[in-house]
Amino acid sequence: MSAPPAPPAGTTTRVLPPEAAGQRLDKALAALFPEHSRTVVSSWIDAGRVVVDGRALAGKVKVRGGETVVVDVPPPEPTDLVPEDRPLAVLFEDDVLLVLDKPSGLTVHPGSGQKDGTLANALVFHLRNLPTVGGHDRPGIVHRLDKDTSGVLLVAKSEAAHRALSRQFAARTVHKEYLAVVHGRVAGESGRIDLPLGRSSAGRTRMAVRVEGGRPSVTDWRVEERLARHTLVRCFPHTGRTHQLRVHWRSQEHPIVGDPLYGWRSSPGEERAPRLLLHAHRIRFAHPTTGAEVAFEAPVPADFAAALVALRTDA
Catalytic positions, written as ranges: 146
Percentage helix, strand, coil for the chain under 3-state DSSP, each rounded to 5: 20, 30, 50
- Of the candidates 170, 151, 120, 123, the one whose C-alpha atom is nearest the C-alpha of residue 283 is 151
Instruction: Please give the Cα distance from 76 to 133 (Å, whole number).
Output: 11
- DSSP at 118: S
Helix pair angle (25-32, 38-46), 10° resolution: 120
Strands 150-156 and 278-286: parallel
- Distance separating alpha carbons of residues 161 and 257, to the nearest angstrom: 36
The one-letter amino acid code at 33 reads: F
In whole angstroms, give the CA distance from residue 191 to residue 189: 7
DSSP 8-state symbol, 19? G
**CA 160 vs CA 13, 103, 226, 261, 274: distances in Å:** 21, 27, 44, 37, 39
**What is the distance in angstroms between the CA of the first residue and the CA of the last residue of the chain?**
46
Residue 137 DSSP symbol: T
